[in-house]
């Protein structure tokens, strides 16, 4: 399957695509490519020119790595099922490809569509991440995958909020 076919299949929520990228250790650079493309699309939609592209890409990459690590840790250490076998690389790959719907955020450059496109692609991406995590962690339960993703997302939001507060603090 080609890079584009994998992105389309991931966006179509096809579990077979997630199984394929999970098993293909050479697909990690492709997953990175998806994250960069989606981050750039998000940066364009938000505006702010080159600064928006750079900040959006850096934030997207950090978010991807942190969320994958959190899901790996939570899913394999705290909430594994008997058949759970995974590693960080597998989760980086499936989560990277699960962000594929975010490419549509580029449509957000149209002012009256921006908020709608951001909400739709955020929900779509979250569903894709749950499916990818279910496959990567070999879960039988979609509910468990939802829980792991939600816990990981909440922890990630808290980390970024604390980081934002720390960076926003005026120097004494």
d(CA 89, CA 138): 15
- Reading the block at residue 113, the tokens are 């569509």
d(CA 157, CA 105): 20
Q: List pLDDT tens digits, range 93-136.
A: 999 999 999 999 999 989 899 999 999 999 999 999 999 999 99
Phi/psi for 116 (5° steps) reads -60, -50
d(CA 68, CA 102): 17
Q: List pLDDT tens digits, range 40-96.
A: 998 888 777 888 888 889 989 999 999 999 999 999 999 999 999 999 999 999 999
d(CA 97, CA 55): 21
d(CA 44, CA 108): 8
pTM of the model: 0.93
- Rounded to an integer, what is the distance from CA 172 to the centroid of its chain? 36
């Amino acid at each position: 399957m080609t890079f584009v076919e994998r992105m389309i299949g991931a966006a179509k929520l096809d579990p077979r695509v997630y199984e394929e990228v999970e098993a293909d250790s050479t697909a990690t650079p492709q997953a990175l490519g998806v994250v960069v493309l989606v981050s750039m699309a998000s940066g364009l939609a938000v505006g702010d020119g080159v600064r928006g592209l750079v900040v959006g890409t850096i934030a997207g990459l950090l978010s991807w790595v942190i969320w994958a690590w959190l899901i790996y840790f939570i899913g394999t250490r705290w909430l594994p099922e008997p058949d759970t076998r995974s590693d960080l690389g597998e989760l980086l790959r499936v989560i990277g490809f699960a962000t594929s719907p975010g490419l549509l955020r580029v449509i957000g450059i149209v002012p009256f569509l921006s908020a709608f496109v951001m909400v739709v692609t955020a929900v779509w991406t979250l569903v894709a991440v749950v499916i990818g995590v279910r496959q990567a962690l070999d879960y039988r339960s979609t509910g468990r995958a939802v829980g792991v993703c939600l816990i990981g997302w909440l922890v990630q939001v808290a980390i970024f909020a604390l980081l934002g507060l720390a960076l926003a603090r005026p120097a004494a």
